[in-house]
Structure 1
Amino acid sequence: MALLWGVVMREEFQRRVSDSAQSGRHSSTSVYFKSTKILRQRILEFLVPLTGQYGVQLMASLGEVWSRRKSKRRHKNKVLPVASESRLTIVDLVKSLNTLHTDAILQLIKEVVKKPHQIKGEQKSSLVDIPMLQFSYAYIQSISAQTLQENVAPLLSLLRESVQLNLAPPGHFLLLGILNDFVNRLPNLDNKKDTRDLQEVTQRILEAVGGIAGSSLEQTSWLSRSLEVKVQPQVCPEAEEPEDADMDCEHYDSLAQASTMVSSSAPSVYSVQALVLLAEILAPLLDMVYRSDEKEKAVPLISRLMYYVFPYLKNHSAYNMPSFEAGSQLLSSLTGYAYTKRAWKKEVFELFMDPLFFTMDMSCAPSWKSIIDHLLTHEKTMFKDLMSMQSGSLKLFVNADQKPMLLKRQAYAMFSGELDQYHLYLPLIQERLTEALRMNPSNAVSAQMFLMFRVLLLRISSQHLTSLWPIMVTELIRIFSRLEKSLQADKDVSKLAKVVRGAQEKNGPVNFSQAELDMYLSACKFLDTSLAFPPEKLPLFQMYRWAFVPEVDVSRYSGPDNALIEGERECSPHVVRVVDGIQQRYGSQNGLSDESSTDSLEFPLLTQHSLTSITQLLPFLRTLCCSFQGPPLHSQSNPPCPADYPAASSEAVMKKLECTIEAEFLDAIES
């Protein structure tokens, strides 16, 4: 009947299209469809008498037909199924049965879900409850808001009784989908009893889905309430299915019918899906279900749900990344509502101070940027407390790591905010930076200082940065001077020592520790960022630029007074001195060559995360040497390619700087 109904509907649609186009040449696809009205009437005459005495059986049969109707493609990124055209035909057929009103349909669905019939297939038999709930989800979406308003009680009854059943996890996902659709279309219920019932049903469904989300967790010990993530592969719902796979709900149905309950021992394929669904629905749903004067009622429920989420966020292992990403999105959504902060404030701060906090995929970074921003926004003194925090008071880090790790978190706190959000705290920030510099900072601290300087350029307007420029430039000069001295010291060694060292350094220099390389890279990235900024956005830096990069090629200057006074040392920019030092020290031993790229270069130039040799900075430094002076002479053979300055698009540069610095905070995940 459903198949025949679908053919009739298509035929009527074709005729309407033909009539609207005023085409007299339309011919029916079959001799039997000269009068679709009669055929439609015959189908209804066959089905309507069955709705009375055999309503439950009719609805169960509908569920069986529903389970056999497939689409040719599974919809990407969907935890809840999207009904195919053939399934929507079934919905349309049921709505055409005038003896079945909405309340009666909901009652029949409830009866079938409570005592589901078995679907007998060629290879396996399964229950009709999940297909029935899939039909319910599509049916509820298809009816008008007015019809929904008139059937609040039957719908809440269906949800309340269904959530108590031993449904497979996808059944609870569908109940949450139905509830969410209902609340979004009817956000304000006039009846207080209906409101109370809605809150009760919401709580039960969310707790059921929360339990599924926690199905990949286990207790840390026998009597402990603490949970940790099971070491097992996790199924990510965002995997793209083949275009030609028979997949839409076939995959969904097979998972739904594989088990009628969540096993505590077998690996769960549903926990990631539950987290993804909660991330999408939870926060806006609770905001509508609980009115402004009732928000506090939702906090205990949120706390119970987050009990299943925080263990995933504490685990930074590669196998846990699907859950970590979904949990991060859920937390980001929740933290946007100030009333929820009691449920997450303490735990989020602990996660922020965790040594592994920055170990995550790039896809998780936007969520955590939002979470930290919400933490600092909802707690008015949190930013000041964080900036005033002394590294010695931290018990979470190893002593040697305390200062740089705290500096990195302070920089990230500023990065998570908007432009000038924290400019009133600049005196405090300047005080902390001065303190750190006064105490002879380690290489790791200096590296994090330059990262903080870059964040300051992005998040504080130039007019507020005037007092900080002397500090930033002085530190940059100090580090470049240190590098120059390290390279210069090698000039005085004997030829024999150079030969020995050259043999050692074929696989990379051994003189610089990794901490030193990180520091020099961070300093160069700060210079790169300062040069990348549109000049009008950093007017003060233009006064200091000459100290670092050559702006005039003195070898081409032919005017008077070109000779140095006797005994006077020529002043050359720091970048030039470092390039000379690297070339004199390493020459061509480590694969250095004078070949230049013909590719168009744009600021920022440095994107690498780490160095294995100081010589890896040479292409960057050479580019700086020729980017701020006139075009090269024709006589120059194979000159280095200059970078475009200033950039054609200021907006594109600022966006690239934002992405580059965000990636800078993240650490690689160990597999």
Structure 2
Amino acid sequence: QLECIKLMTRIFAELLSIVKDVGKNLANYIADLMEKCKVQKILLYCISSSVNYFTSPQCYTYSDEILVFNDPESSRLYAEAYQIELLNLLLAVIKLEHEIMIQRNDERFNEGIKNVLSSNSPTRPAPENKRIYKYIPNQLVSQQPMFLSSMLSALASEKLKHIHKNWTDMITSCLTCLPLNNLTNIVISIIHQLCANLDRLTRRDRIIYNQCTDYIVAQLEAITVLSHYCLLDSSQQISLANVFNASNNMTSPATNSGQIINSIVNVFLSSSLLNVNQAKTSHQEVAKNAILSHLPRIIITIATLWETSISEFRHVKHQLLEFLSPISLHYGTNFLTAISVAWYERSNESGGSTASSASTNGSDSAEIEGDFFDVMAKSLPQACDNQRLLVKLISGIRIMSVDSFIQTMHQVIKSPPQIYQPPVGLNLEVSALELLFYYLKSVAQTQFSDCWSSLYALLKDCLSLQIPAQFVALSILNEFVQRCPNIPFSDKKDVRDLHDVTSRLVEAISNVAGSCLEQTTWLRRNLSVKEEFSSIESTKDGLLMPSNQHYSIQAQSILAAILAPLLDVAFSSQEKDKVTTIVTGVMYNIVPYLKTHTAKNIPTFHACSNLLASLSTYQYTRKAWRKDALDLLLDATFFQFDSRCLPYWKTILDSLMTCDTTTFRDLMNRLPLAQTGTLNIFTSKEQEYEQRALLLKRLAFVIFCSEVDQYHKYMPEIQEQLANSLRLPQVVPLIQSAVFLCFRVLLLRMSADHVTSLWPIIIAEMVQVFLSIEQELMTDTEEFSQHIRMLSGLDTAWVTNTNNGLYSYGHPHWRMVQLETAKLLELGCVLPATILPHFQMYRWAFVSSQNEHYLKLGSYDDSKSVAFIPHVTRISQLMDFRYTSHSPKPQTNKGSHIMLSCQAINTLQDLYSFFSTLSMRWPSHISYTADTEKDTKACLDEVERVLALDFLERMPQTK
């Protein structure tokens, strides 16, 4: 059999040269003879059965296996050699058929030309479940469906893996003989199968490199030859191959793919007829468009192979670059489009996109917060490791400069090429810009010098793109501005262009940030947050897409991350006045969010607070946000926000008060109340008291946001204001609790020398509160509990009425005074004596030392008792007596310095554990470690954390 096949191969090869010389008459005779002998039909069925022999599932019984073992004729001893010789014969027949058709000017050949000239060839790979294994009469071998089906079955079989190279050599050798109307379909189908083979190989956990590298190189060579044959002409292939080899100084053990294709084309060029030459251009164009539309699929396979360790082998990497370099040079737009598609698919594999990631806006606030912080983490373009490998692949080709890369990417965004079966949800603009962003991050700063004009044109066109693309565009601009060595530009036109695109991009994203706002009045520009809005909208195709409001939080987060540093570098010191205009526009869109204190608005409040904090660190922006920040501070609902916003507002208020001396003075001047007896017809006494308590709390927060001793020169005035607040005609618990909060802040933010004169006031007020607690504990009445129970059924006016008795010790505001006093005492107990030395002189009045033992409960009237019992001990004993059925065991939290971390109490019993523990242990309920400095720092950090939370107020519950 093998010898017969070899003989027939030799005969057909000789006939090929004879037909070329003799011409049409011999061609007609040979064609008739082959048809009568059914050469093509028999050959195709032999090929098909040979492939089926390896690919069909074999279910042998034990007896069958014995027969197969003892019958060498049915074994696979010669099956592979038989198939290889059949492939050689098939190649010879295809070449001979092609030459005969040319010599005879066969209608089937002309029909193929007309099909190419009139319509496009199929561009879909042949599906496996629709492969045809039936011979069709009067068709060329290469036009037979079973020809392609047999090839795909053989290439898909792992059992034939070691002879795949013979199959690929056969198909690459007969490329010029393939009919024009079938070329595209054959090439696309085979390339897809070769990519699937490589994908299957790279997915395996263990690769035997010495057995795999040759196979990978062979598959890559086949993909290279098939792709380049359709994409490049012979001059491009040879010139590029020479440039590539010269630039890389590398030699491949395999034959250069450009030379292979050139040889294939030139073998038949001399005998081609005029009509072939006329059809060549159209035929190449159809095949080229098909290959380019399927390029993303090929690039994904190449990129996957690039990231494996096997790509480190020299000849594998050389073959990868030999495939990529010509395509990136001559078809840069399609190449970068394919990379962008691969970028998107890899972002989905890693669990989410970046700029286009979404956050739902449901009714559940906890769900909103979870989505929000996920969006916050992805506000700037993010890339997983697999995506970063795509950037390394582009950098490894080294054909495009940064400027040409930006120009090519501009073409991708402006006129995207056709993509075969794009992934669901693909936003090519966003993926391309994200790829550009990370590519710019990977290149050296020196390469930014000559690319501004191209980048400006790209960014200017991004203004008309979708919202996610604008987000990435602003990130790209910031990356360029921060790293370009030529900034500030010397050319005034470049400076104008930079300012123009910066202001327009910021304005566009600022408008997106304010997309959840609506105008409440017709005449005045007064914006407020929409109560309800939809996060999705329908398109013309019926698809649900994110609306502008959907991107509001993301826009705020992006501005918070990059706006301030971008403006600082883009505008020189002589042009900072332009920054004020830009920031004013941004503030117009974010202040309404900061005025809205609801659970649903937590995400936007957090993002806008972050944005304002970043802007406030630059003094030249102060004019744009100073008034708004001060108004927000003085708002009655200012402290109704999430604790995660505290660091931002500490930065904002520190910048607000530090940059000039007038702002803090203005806040101080708001505190004094009218001391005259005149009646104010606009406000009541209760409103004035509430306003004073509000201002005291904000004064305390401003001082808390400052550095140590930053406001020490104002201490006399601050002390005077606190003293005046305590000397009101009647005791106002709301003001008194605010004063105690100020005491705690001052003890932390002022050094000991500056609070010396404050201690007598602190001690006197603490003693008064503790005496009132003792009096309440010794009073056996239900009056206080009745007041508390009645509160739920009363309106606000009755609660704040001074004649209703609720300014007594059972009032909720008085409970806050008791809690603040206890926290102030705890502060004095837990802080070291080096920080609060003056308290050590007064501590005996409140807590006892561990060596002192006082009389038990009921001995106060004994004339032989100790002269004085500390307040904490007395209160603890009274609580033991009052709450006998609820006596708690003193407990300490290991590693914690503070016991009172709550923000409110309902009854005195909530303080039982605190007084009980403090009466038993001094100086604190924790044991200091050997590392005193470290422990002191940990103690201060915990005290500040608890104190910061004490400023916050409960947000109103939304229905």
Q: What TM-score do the two structures reach when normalised by structure 1?
A: 0.81
1:72 and 2:353 aligned: no
Deviates more, 1:547-556 or 1:139-148: 547-556
CA drift at 1:316: 0.8
For residues 502 and 438 of structure 1, the distance between their equivalents in structure 2, rounded to whole angstroms, comes to 25
Residues paired across the two proteins, number: 604
For residues 925 and 647 of structure 2, the distance between their equivalents in structure 1, rounded to whole angstroms, comes to 30
Aligned residue type for 1:30: T
Q: Residues 466 and 203 (structure 1 numbering): CA distance in 2 closer, same or farther, change over 3 Å?
A: same
Q: Identify the residue that residue 624 of structure 1 maps to in structure 2.
A: 918
Q: Identify the residue that residue 496 of structure 2 maps to in structure 1.
A: 196
Q: Identify the residue that residue 542 of structure 1 maps to in structure 2.
A: 840
1:405 and 2:686 aligned: no
Q: 2:909 aligns with which of 587, 597, 615?
A: 615
CA contact (8 A) 1:117 1:127 kept: no
For 1:346-425, list aligned pairs within 5 A: 346-390=627-671, 392=673, 398-425=687-714
CA drift at 1:222: 4.2
CA contact (8 A) 2:900 2:914 kept: yes
For residues 125 and 563 of structure 1, the distance between their equivalents in structure 2, rounded to whole angstroms, comes to 80
Aligned residue type for 2:950: E
CA contact (8 A) 2:888 2:913 kept: no
Q: Deviations over 1:483-527 (max 9, x none)?
A: 22333344xxxxxxx6x7899799999971211111111111111
Q: Identify the residue that residue 746 of structure 2 maps to in structure 1.
A: 456
Q: Deviations over 1:122-148 (max 9, x none)?
A: 885755322222222222222221111
Aligned residue type for 2:412: V
SS of 1:228 mapped into structure 2: strand
- Higher percent of residues as helix: 2
Q: 1:592 aligns with which of 886, 906, 920?
A: 886
For residues 99 and 536 of structure 1, the distance between their equivalents in structure 2, rounded to whole angstroms, comes to 67
Q: Deviations over 1:183-237 (max 9, x none)?
A: 11126234333222112111111111111111222222344422211224899xx
For residues 52 and 652 of structure 1, the distance between their equivalents in structure 2, rounded to whole angstroms, comes to 60
CA drift at 1:447: 0.8
CA contact (8 A) 1:392 1:402 kept: no
CA drift at 1:114: 2.1
Deviates more, 1:642-651 or 1:107-116: 642-651
For residues 501 and 512 of structure 1, the distance between their equivalents in structure 2, rounded to whole angstroms, comes to 8
Q: Residues 311 and 362 (structure 1 numbering): CA distance in 2 closer, same or farther, change over 3 Å?
A: same
Q: Residues 593 and 501 (structure 1 numbering): CA distance in 2 closer, same or farther, change over 3 Å?
A: farther
Q: 2:936 aligns with which of 637, 642, 650?
A: 650
The structure showing larger relative contact order (alpha-carbon pairs under 8 Å, at least 6 residues apart) is: 1
Q: 1:580 aligns with which of 863, 866, 877?
A: 877
CA drift at 1:617: 1.2
Q: Residues 136 and 602 (structure 1 numbering): CA distance in 2 closer, same or farther, change over 3 Å?
A: closer
CA contact (8 A) 2:830 2:939 kept: yes
SS of 2:641 mapped into structure 1: coil
For residues 404 and 296 of structure 1, the distance between their equivalents in structure 2, rounded to whole angstroms, comes to 38
Q: What TM-score do the two structures reach when normalised by structure 2?
A: 0.58
Aligned residue type for 1:82: Q
CA drift at 1:579: 2.6
Q: 2:448 aligns with which of 148, 151, 156?
A: 148
**What CA RMSD, in Å, does the superposition of the two structures yield over aligned residues?**
3.8
1:670 and 2:936 aligned: no
Q: Deviations over 1:294-349 (max 9, x none)?
A: 21111101100111111111111101101100110110111011110111000100
Q: Identify the residue that residue 732 of structure 2 maps to in structure 1.
A: 442
For residues 777 and 828 of structure 2, the distance between their equivalents in structure 1, rounded to whole angstroms, comes to 25
Q: Residues 294 and 594 (structure 1 numbering): CA distance in 2 closer, same or farther, change over 3 Å?
A: closer
SS of 2:614 mapped into structure 1: helix
Aligned residue type for 1:650: T
For residues 333 and 503 of structure 1, the distance between their equivalents in structure 2, rounded to whole angstroms, comes to 48
Q: Deviations over 1:455-497 (max 9, x none)?
A: 011000112211111111111111112222333344xxxxxxx
Deviates more, 1:361-370 or 1:614-623: 614-623
Q: Deviations over 1:527-550 (max 9, x none)?
A: 111111101221111110111112
1:137 and 2:137 aligned: no
For residues 176 and 505 of structure 1, the distance between their equivalents in structure 2, rounded to whole angstroms, comes to 59
1:480 and 2:757 aligned: no
SS of 1:371 mapped into structure 2: helix
- Structure number with larger C-alpha Rg: 2
Deviates more, 1:412-421 or 1:190-199: 190-199
Aligned residue type for 2:430: I
CA contact (8 A) 2:787 2:810 kept: no
Aligned residue type for 1:374: S
Q: Deviations over 1:555-610 (max 9, x none)?
A: 479xxxx99995998321112222333344x343xx42253437658543211111
Q: Identify the residue that residue 432 of structure 1 maps to in structure 2.
A: 721
Q: Deviations over 1:149-175 (max 9, x none)?
A: 121221122112222x2x221101110
CA contact (8 A) 1:549 1:573 kept: yes
Deviates more, 1:321-330 or 1:614-623: 614-623
For residues 323 and 863 of structure 2, the distance between their equivalents in structure 1, rounded to whole angstroms, comes to 113
Q: Residues 120 and 583 (structure 1 numbering): CA distance in 2 closer, same or farther, change over 3 Å?
A: same
1:159 and 2:459 aligned: yes
CA contact (8 A) 2:850 2:921 kept: no
Q: Residues 261 and 599 (structure 1 numbering): CA distance in 2 closer, same or farther, change over 3 Å?
A: closer
Q: Residues 278 and 258 (structure 1 numbering): CA distance in 2 closer, same or farther, change over 3 Å?
A: farther
For residues 542 and 279 of structure 1, the distance between their equivalents in structure 2, rounded to whole angstroms, comes to 46
For 1:122-521, list aligned pairs within 5 A: 128-163=428-463, 165=464, 167-186=465-484, 188-192=487-491, 193-232=493-532, 262-263=547-548, 268-390=549-671, 392=673, 398-439=687-728, 440-490=730-780, 512-521=810-819
CA contact (8 A) 2:470 2:509 kept: yes
For 1:100-139, list aligned pairs within 5 A: 100-117=400-417, 119=419, 121=421, 128-139=428-439
SS of 1:535 mapped into structure 2: coil
Q: Identify the residue that residue 104 of structure 2 maps to in structure 1.
A: none
Q: Identify the residue that residue 244 of structure 1 maps to in structure 2.
A: none
For residues 854 and 330 of structure 2, the distance between their equivalents in structure 1, rounded to whole angstroms, comes to 102
For residues 106 and 90 of structure 1, the distance between their equivalents in structure 2, rounded to whole angstroms, comes to 16
For residues 273 and 258 of structure 1, the distance between their equivalents in structure 2, rounded to whole angstroms, comes to 22
Q: Deviations over 1:360-419 (max 9, x none)?
A: 111001111111111000121221221232365999994341121111011111101011
CA contact (8 A) 2:752 2:837 kept: yes
State percent identity of aligned pairs: 33
CA drift at 1:81: 3.2
Q: Residues 62 and 512 (structure 1 numbering): CA distance in 2 closer, same or farther, change over 3 Å?
A: same
Aligned residue type for 2:526: S
CA contact (8 A) 1:213 1:270 kept: yes
Q: Which runs of 5+ in 1 are unaligned?
A: 12-24, 236-253, 491-497, 630-641
Aligned residue type for 1:570: A
Q: Residues 121 and 667 (structure 1 numbering): CA distance in 2 closer, same or farther, change over 3 Å?
A: farther
SS of 1:571 mapped into structure 2: coil
For residues 579 and 505 of structure 1, the distance between their equivalents in structure 2, rounded to whole angstroms, comes to 25
For residues 502 and 291 of structure 1, the distance between their equivalents in structure 2, rounded to whole angstroms, comes to 65
For residues 860 and 434 of structure 2, the distance between their equivalents in structure 1, rounded to whole angstroms, comes to 87
